[in-house]
Amino acid sequence: MKKTLWLCAAIAGLAIGCATNSGSDVAQPSGGDDGSGGGGSGATGGGGGPGSLVPASCPAPKVGPGEREWQSFILTGGLHLVADAQGGLIYTTDPGIVKLDQNARTVFSFASGDVVAVDAGGNIYVAGVFTAPLDVGRGEMTPVNGNDVFLAKLSPAGEILFVRQGLCTANILPGQDSLLGIAVAPDGRIAISGSTFGVVVLDQDGELSFQERYAGLISFDSKGNLVVGVTFGGDGLFQLAPDVFFQGSADYGTIVIAKYDRAGNYISHFSLAQAAITGLALDGGDNIALIGEFVGSMNLFGQELSEPVSLPFPQGTQFGAIAVRLNSAYGVIWAEEINPFNASVRTDAMFSAMGGLAVNQFGDLIVSSNFVTPTRVPYANPTLAQYNEAMGGTLLGRGGVTAGYGLGVAEDACGNIYQASVQYIAGPVSVLEKIRAER
């Protein structure tokens, strides 16, 4: 077995808790990008390519828009979901992944890994942290420095195509919280984001191409550029590139979306103050979708927002939630608060933006989250919303009937939405649902 050791690094990762101003900022370099090929998008933290590959034919829908086709109790997992072009669904367990077919039948399972992505051909990429000797099917691996990350590429049927290890730092910790996401470009390059090492981009064979210092949510655009969504915290000076600096402040947070070309060179960035990013996805036109949260108040492109106060929680102990759609040059297509109470807004009320985010082939935002009603305080209900790509209006709003909260979400090329949630049914249990989208 060929076993590659990546370069070891110990670069500071994600920081949360600052703001710089009440507006937004866009910075463009003098040069352009030199990327070619495809890009990626998906649920929170990355996934497959933007603009899902549409099958030659889709089966006739079994249910109407917004209706559930099937439900599966998976007990644990569901933080990350991806759907392939053939209608298969892959979800993370704790640890590992499981692939289901269109009818919720298990295709295969893989016992290790924390984050997952899929490419246009249906190949699956799994990355995970390990701190003890581990054999995922290609021989035993010993963790470098006692803490390590592996990457495995699987065929659509679950055959192991390659395994790599050796992404090492002194402080990688086991579990899902260490790895934030994985994304795959159509040319086969792979990006992995981790809170202790930033973002690494690997070539098609899993060899290290370059590394960026800040960890965040990741995707690729259609030119093959890496797109990273980060929350900057503290009042320090953050460096996006050798000659590009970003000044933080001591408020809640500042969202920064940064682009890097295929060689790792900085291209441009966008910032939005007084908020933290919780989801990032790109569509086939390289439009950028993000969800985020804020505490107290924020200025969202001229809209003065306040966190919900009608529920019996003290101010500052719950989050305001936002959804934003930008074009590829960071121009605002629409931006909304998605959880105000007693307000005249186009979007259905949601309590937070802490679940998952995906975009479909039309550019609609699909958000998995949770919603609190006064009759269920302090418990929340899982929610699912589909927001129109052009104006942010709600196409589909769906709330759970049991207490719980939303996890990962994905949509396949035939218009089926897959949502994972935790529901309290005689105790917490993870549930997967297949739901027909509004269009």
Strands 404-411, 179-184: parallel, antiparallel or unpaired by DSSP?
A: unpaired
Query: What per-residue confidence (pLDDT) applies to 268?
Result: 96
The answer to whether 285 and 363 have CB atoms below 8 angstroms apart is: yes
Using a 10 angstrom Cβ sphere, with 0-12 exposed, 13-18 middle and 19 or more buried, the burial of residue 67 is: exposed
Contact 27, 259 (CB under 8 A): no
Which sequence spans correspond to the domains of the chain?
Answer: 24-57+73-436
**24-57+73-436 to CATH, choices 3.40.50.300, 2.120.10.30, 3.40.50.12780, 3.20.20.70:** 2.120.10.30
Q: pLDDT 10s per residue in the chain (439 long)? A: 444 444 443 333 332 222 223 345 555 443 333 333 322 333 344 444 444 455 557 888 899 988 999 999 988 899 999 999 888 999 999 889 999 998 999 999 999 999 999 999 999 999 998 889 999 999 999 988 778 899 999 999 999 999 998 865 555 555 546 899 999 998 899 999 998 888 999 999 888 899 998 889 999 999 999 999 999 887 778 888 888 888 776 677 899 999 999 999 999 999 998 899 999 999 999 999 999 988 888 899 999 988 776 555 555 556 788 999 999 999 999 998 887 553 333 344 444 556 789 999 889 999 888 776 555 555 677 878 888 888 777 888 777 667 888 899 999 988 899 999 988 887 888 999 999 988 7
DSSP designation for 366 = E
pLDDT at 177: 63
Sign of the CA dihedral 39, 43, 47, 48? Answer: negative
Cα distances from 90 to residues 98, 107, 237, 292, 302, in angstroms, run 6, 10, 39, 25, 39
pLDDT in the model for residue 34: 38
Strands 320-326 and 288-294, bridge-based pairing = antiparallel
Q: Which pLDDT does position 283 carry in this prediction?
A: 94
Looking at residue 85, its pLDDT comes to 85
Q: pLDDT value at position 4?
A: 45
**CA-closest candidate to residue 156, choices 83, 226, 66, 251:** 83
pLDDT of residue 285: 94
Confidence at residue 41, expressed as pLDDT on a 0 to 100 scale? 33
